[in-house]
Chains A and B, each alone.
Chain A
Amino acid sequence: MNESVLEKLKILAESAKYDVSCASSGTSRKHKAGGIGSAAGWGICHSFAEDGRCISLLKIMLTNHCMYDCAYCINRRSNDIPRATLSVSELVDLTIEFYRRNYIEGLFLSSGIVRNPDYTMERLVRIVKDLRTLYRFNGYIHLKGIPGASPELIHEAGLYADRLSVNIEIPNEQSLQLLAPEKDFQSVFTPMRHIQQRVLESAEERKKYRFAPRFAPAGQSTQMIIGATADSDKDILRLSSALYQRPTMKRVYYSGFVPVNTYDQRLPMLKQPPLVRENRLYQADWLLRFYQFKVDEIVDDAYPDLDLEIDPKLAWALRHPERFPVDINQADYEMLLRIPGLGVKSAKMIIVSRRYGRINVSQLKKMGVVLKKAQYFITCNELPLQTIHEVRPERIRTLLTQPSGKKEDPRQLKLIFEE
């Protein structure tokens, strides 16, 4: 280990940073004698980069040489950027020494495609295998599945990695063909299906034999780039929802498109990444996973794109005033979750504390329930003040979207001075 690694680390981290996946959750593993480290089931973020995103794993590429020429990717063949490759011992040293200093939770290893998908995947698997068996690394490992890799290699990867991920990148096959001529949906979905199959098989085996090996215990994830193609939020969320139907898909990440290859005519010209849209998509994703929403309730043919001004749950509530107001002392958990501004924690807190007595507004406030949005959609012990039926949805929308700041007092006279 010497100074030359510094330059490589810089190049390969720069190349890996556009993959947004960062979670280190899903596996709980105690320390093993003779090994290094453990895995905490809920995941730990050890630092946060200046863009506010968490640094949990050492997110790095084995090499940024790539034979593909995907329009949206910084590492595409036709880009003139510095290239580097880490040796196995360098990568292992970096991971273990960073881990010992509590900088990271584990390793997130990816790679550019060299020679062919199988060759690349084999190199990745070898490193992870060495790390687990030779160096007894017991922390978290997230490994990228290379699209088009053979099932045998995927099977081996899952024995050592906690989570595997294969990126879809573009939510629509035609656009994918246009931007990444070497890839197709087939090459992405086949490895995904193999991972799912093996995870389920291994779970079954472990029911019979306690010491049967675990296969990718933290499941799989994937990523889609937002704003690089003309796909609507409906297409994206329908695909996500279909993916979540599969038993092992834990997360779909949305990555706002950062125009890295501005010279490419196939890509839209964006001044800055679509951050608000990305945020709304994540909110919709949470509604799918934790709030028991169906995708058709969030986006449909009449509303193919998410509202950028208000969050998807509020948008749904404003479209469905007939479901409100909700009595928080009686409504079931599912309905509590549908109140705008009320999250999973608040809903659970209301459920447990109303067993002891009726809940009123002041108690809600003290519990930390934010009433800014919720006030128009609930009734509780007191008489409802201003519900959605009195105020009307359009008015609520303007009330909630007008910029906060100093509210003007209507009684105050305005003095207008001529300039």
Chain B
Amino acid sequence: MIVFTYDKTFEGLLSCIFYAYERKIFPDIVLAEGTPLPLFCEEVIPILTEEKKSERVWKGLSKKLSQAGLAVITYNWLSELPDTENLLFRYIRKAIDAPKSIELNFGDPDVLLASQIYKKVSYERHRVIQFTRFQKTADNIFFAALEPLYNVLPIAISHFKDRFSDQKWIIYDIKRAYGYFYNLSEVTEIRFETQSSYLITGQLDASLMSEDEQLFQKLWKTYFKSISIKERTNPKLHRQNLPVRFWKYLTEKQ
């Protein structure tokens, strides 16, 4: 059994592909550095991440796949699921070896699985766009915290940048402890060093809010209650459409 180990970056994975095709050695399994090795491995090859090589692989891939096919690869990477690197390795190999694009061949188990994960990640991106709730702070920054299932902030941020381009905002992923700050001109990645209470509950303390924030939160909660038709109450459908894992961060559910 041949094992490739890499540094658990996307560029690292692409470097693995480069190495494999350069030496014509194809691994049975790709592992992140530091994970325990399987029992019977003949050869462990540590792969060095090289930007030039990974760029070449990406360029080659963009000739083999459409934009949608490339998005399947990046979305799968952002899913952070346990065996993603091996699935992606097989997917990319199939894409390179096949004479025509494989991205629509849903009869192939790897292509199907990758497209299913792509769908899950893009649904999660959509949910983040739906259920992000901003709270206005005293220094006029709109703050939102959430913990998406997959690491979808990088692909959701362009939507917020376009829509809320005349207000400062922070969207923070509590689970992965990083977020994005928009300062009216550009978006930068940020990390809070301190563990403040709003990074646990997602709700700002009243002392940090701008003065009319509480009024608007109250207005929104009132509206949320009055708009539902009592005769048609349907808690099952409600939970299905508005997953419970988001309730913690939704203003109307406080």
A: residues with CB less than 8 A from B are: 1-3, 5-6, 9-10, 13-14, 16-18, 30-31, 34-38, 40, 44-55, 58-59, 94, 97-98, 100-103, 256, 258, 272-273, 275, 349, 352-357, 359, 363, 366-368
What residues of B have a CB within 8 angstroms of the CB of A353 in the complex? Answer: 104-107
Report the Cα distance A372→B116, complex, angstroms.
21
What residues of A have a CB within 8 angstroms of the CB of B220 in the complex? Answer: 98, 101, 103
Query: How many Å from the CB of B26 to the closest CB on chain A?
Result: 23
What residues of B have a CB within 8 angstroms of the CB of A359 in the complex? Answer: 107
> Which interface residue of A2, A18, A49 has the most chain B CB atoms within 10 A?
A49
Report the Cα distance A36→B105, complex, angstroms.
42
* A136 nearest CB neighbor, chain B only: B166
CB-CB under 8 A for A100 and B167, given A10-B222, A46-B131, A48-B241: yes
Query: How many Å from the CB of A266 to the closest CB on chain B?
Result: 20
Count how many chain B residues have C-beta atoms less than 8 Å from C-beta atoms of the other chain. 54
Query: How many Å from the CB of A14 to the closest CB on chain B?
Result: 5
CB-CB under 8 A for A52 and B241, given A36-B166, A44-B130, A103-B133: yes
Contact A52 B134 (CB under 8 A): no
Main secondary structure on A side of the interface with B: loop
In the complex, which of the residues B116, B126, B129, B250 contacts A47, with contact meaning CB atoms closer than 8 Å?
A: B250
Task: Check B142 for interface membership: any CB of A closer than 8 A.
Answer: yes
Contact B105 A49 (CB under 8 A): no
CB-CB under 8 A for A58 and B226, given A37-B163, A101-B136: no
CB-CB under 8 A for A31 and B162, given A51-B229, A51-B233, A55-B224: yes
What residues of A have a CB within 8 angstroms of the CB of B227 in the complex? Answer: 13, 16-17, 49, 55, 59
List the 10 closest A-B pairs by CB distance, nearest first: A52-B237, A49-B228, A13-B226, A353-B106, A48-B241, A51-B232, A52-B234, A356-B105, A352-B104, A48-B242
Interface residues of B in 147-178 (CB under 8 A from A): 159, 162-167
Contact B216 A98 (CB under 8 A): yes
What residues of A have a CB within 8 angstroms of the CB of B107 in the complex? Answer: 353-354, 356-357, 359, 363
What residues of B have a CB within 8 angstroms of the CB of A31 in the complex? Answer: 162-163, 165
Report the Cα distance A16→B135, complex, angstroms.
27
Contact A100 B164 (CB under 8 A): yes
Report the Cα distance A48→B236, complex, angstroms.
12
Query: How many Å from the CB of B214 to the closest CB on chain A?
Result: 11
* A14 nearest CB neighbor, chain B only: B226
Contact A38 B163 (CB under 8 A): yes
* B119 nearest CB neighbor, chain A only: A368
Task: Check B41 for interface membership: any CB of A closer than 8 A.
Answer: no
Task: Check B251 for interface membership: any CB of A closer than 8 A.
Answer: yes
* B253 nearest CB neighbor, chain A only: A47
* B212 nearest CB neighbor, chain A only: A1
Query: How many Å from the CB of B128 to the closest CB on chain A?
Result: 10
Contact B238 A51 (CB under 8 A): yes
What residues of B have a CB within 8 angstroms of the CB of A36 in the complex? Answer: 166
In the complex, which of the residues A30, A48, A356 contacts B162, with contact meaning CB atoms closer than 8 Å?
A: A30
Query: How many Å from the CB of B192 to the closest CB on chain A?
Result: 21
Contact A17 B241 (CB under 8 A): no
Task: Check B204 for interface membership: any CB of A closer than 8 A.
Answer: no
CB-CB under 8 A for A58 and B223, given A45-B130, A100-B142, A102-B133: yes
What residues of A have a CB within 8 angstroms of the CB of B108 in the complex? Answer: 356
* B116 nearest CB neighbor, chain A only: A368
Query: How many Å from the CB of A24 to the closest CB on chain B?
Result: 11
CB-CB under 8 A for A94 and B219, given A18-B229, A38-B163, A349-B106: yes
Query: How many Å from the CB of A209 to the closest CB on chain B?
Result: 26
What residues of A have a CB within 8 angstroms of the CB of B232 in the complex? Answer: 51-53, 256, 258, 273, 275
Task: Check B7 for interface membership: any CB of A closer than 8 A.
Answer: no
* A256 nearest CB neighbor, chain B only: B232
What residues of A have a CB within 8 angstroms of the CB of B135 in the complex? Answer: 101
Task: Check B82 for interface membership: any CB of A closer than 8 A.
Answer: no
Between-chain CB contacts (< 8 Å), 26 pairs: A3-B215, A6-B218, A6-B219, A10-B222, A31-B163, A47-B131, A48-B238, A49-B224, A50-B228, A50-B233, A50-B234, A51-B228, A51-B238, A52-B237, A58-B223, A59-B227, A98-B216, A98-B219, A102-B132, A102-B144, A103-B133, A256-B232, A353-B106, A356-B105, A366-B112, A368-B116
What residues of B have a CB within 8 angstroms of the CB of A50 in the complex? Answer: 228, 233-235, 238
Contact with A along B5-47 (1 / 0, CB 8 A): 0000000000000000000000000000000000000000000
